[in-house]
Amino acid sequence: MRIVCVSRGTYGGGKELAEKLAAKLGIPCLAREQVTDMARRAGINVGKLEMSVVRPRPMTESLAIEKERFKAFITATLAERALAGGVVYHGRTGHLVLPSVAHVLRIRAIMAPESRIALTMQRLGLDRDKARLYNEQVDDDRRRWARTLYNVDWDDPSHYDLVLSLDHMSADNAASAAVGVAQLPEFQPTPASEKVLRDLLLAAQCRLAIGSDERTRMIDATVRANNGSVSITYPPRHAANAAYLEQVVAGVPGVARVQCTMASTSILWIEERFDPQSESMTHLLEIAAKWNAAVGLVRLCSQPLPPVRTDDEPLGKGPVDAGILDDSTTGATDGDDGGVRATMSCLLQEGRAGGYWQVCGGARDLTQSLDRTADYSLVVVGNVFQGKDSAVRKRMTRELTTFVGESLRVPAIGADELHQQYLFGPSHWIKMLGLAALSAAMVILVFHFQAPILDFLSRPGLGNRVAAVVVLALAVPLFAQVYGGFSHYFLRLLKFE
């Protein structure tokens, strides 16, 4: 069940490398052009989607939904081929389609610009300047495509396990080198990575089923699957048609349970061990209710954990795990799910469940396992790295919070900051009323003494003018700070975070 994804530029030798690598591994080779043709035959308007990327313009809701259908189609196609025995895929962004499958080998094939220009001149019959311009334009399109569909930088080397330059090495020799890497233990399937792949396949098939049914095709749905349990999140504006979601998805083979949640956005909650009775849970439920948000759980473990199996778990049969796992049985007793099931049960009862993942590793492993295009409004980091001492735990938690926030480009805070930052309590009432009184007092004083103030500001002489400028420079920011603080708390009271 080998999975190799080769990212290639225009006339950069990537296609030949992928074909030779597939032959040496004895598994099928699949090109992006083939997948695109299959998607068109399935009724997905790929051409219109590509034109919206090539000619940058605001994406309409219908195109955004078409984008999700196309991503689901690619995921389902690659997952099916991989589970059937393996696949070598070459195209723009195949390595981004299966982000949380640990045994995917991600290769980038590169070639010097002059070598690519020579190939373009030879194959397209163009002069040098036109060939150079052609390559640059197509590469720009690929960058925009990766940014639009997956919100990543196509050229970022951190997205690849192996970068092969084909300037001084033939495609055949490069394929031989890649075969050696593909045989390393890191790129062999494990029960955990196979489970993640099957979950991705089931979620993609459910998303395609939603897009194929006339009653639900225009719903902006986010679908996640875990051992037959399918979680669907949709925005409030689609509530009328969302009544058909469960019926449509229930017909997909492998679906055991369907949970639909209406949400306008998502909150990501990261913990090592969840407690549904905690203060953080109470605060998150209150914020989720205010924002009409779904809460997604991420259990971040520093040590590999075994799958947890139970017959009465509320999310459907099977292990409570998702994301990047190791099939080692070290680090936890069987049945220990870190409070995930109880917390998810509470979220389901409140209608705020947004799925969950279980990730082993650090910040980079975490961000690679998440959907970077999901509509997150907030990331909350609780108690993680519990095996470290206090100082190290604080430093690593702070670094994790910063890294995840910057990667997802959303606010990220600690769980202990939730109440202070996003909820309105008695202390905020006191602060708001105090600032309101101070603002009113400053305005009243200015109007009451406006004649002396105007006289002071209009006195002739250099010294008087300098004094007037200094007073204004101090008074205006002071009033802005006071009135801004009052506005901040007042808008929070009105739920305008």
Query: Other C-beta atoms within 10 Å of 80: how many?
Result: 14
Q: Is the pLDDT of residue 448 over 70?
A: yes
Q: What is the mean pLDDT of residues 335-351?
A: 79
Spell 87-101 as b/e; 16+ CB within 10 A means b.
Answer: bbbbbbbbbbbbbbb
The model's pTM is 0.66
User: Over 70: is that where the pLDDT of 206 sits?
Assistant: yes
% of the chain residues with pLDDT over 70: 90
DSSP string computed for 172-229: HHHHHHHHHHHTSGGGS--HHHHHHHHHHHHHHHHHHHHHHSTTTTT---EEEEETTE
Mean pLDDT across 229-247 = 86
pLDDT of residue 335: 55
pLDDT at 56: 66
User: Cα–chain-centroid distance for residue 202?
Assistant: 19
- Average pLDDT of the chain to the nearest whole number: 84
- What is the three-class DSSP state of 7? strand
Tokens matching residue 242:
């969302």
Average pLDDT over residues 287-297: 85
Q: What's the confidence (pLDDT) of residue 25? A: 95
Confirm if 373 and 413 have CB atoms less than 8 A apart. no
Q: What is the pLDDT of residues 171-186, one digit of tens each?
A: 999 999 999 999 999 9
The predicted model gives 324-346 an average pLDDT of 58
Sequence-ordered list of residues with C-beta below 8 angstroms from that of 189, at least 6 positions apart, any chain: 1, 2, 103, 197
CB 230 within 8 A of CB 204: no
Enter the CATH code of domain 2-187: 3.40.50.300
**pLDDT tens, residue by residue, 155-168:** 888 889 999 999 88
How many beta carbons lie within 10 A of that of residue 239, not counting itself? 12
The per-residue pLDDT for 16 is 92
What is the CATH topology of the domain spanning 257-422?
Rossmann fold (3.40.50)
* Position 24 pLDDT exceeds 90: yes
Residue 304 has pLDDT above 70, yes or no: no
| Domain assignments of the chain as residue spans, ordered by start | 2-187, 257-422, 426-493
In contact, 7 and 162? CB cutoff 8 Å: no
Q: What are the Cα distances from residue 289, in Å, to 81, 128, 272, 285, 295?
A: 41, 60, 24, 6, 10
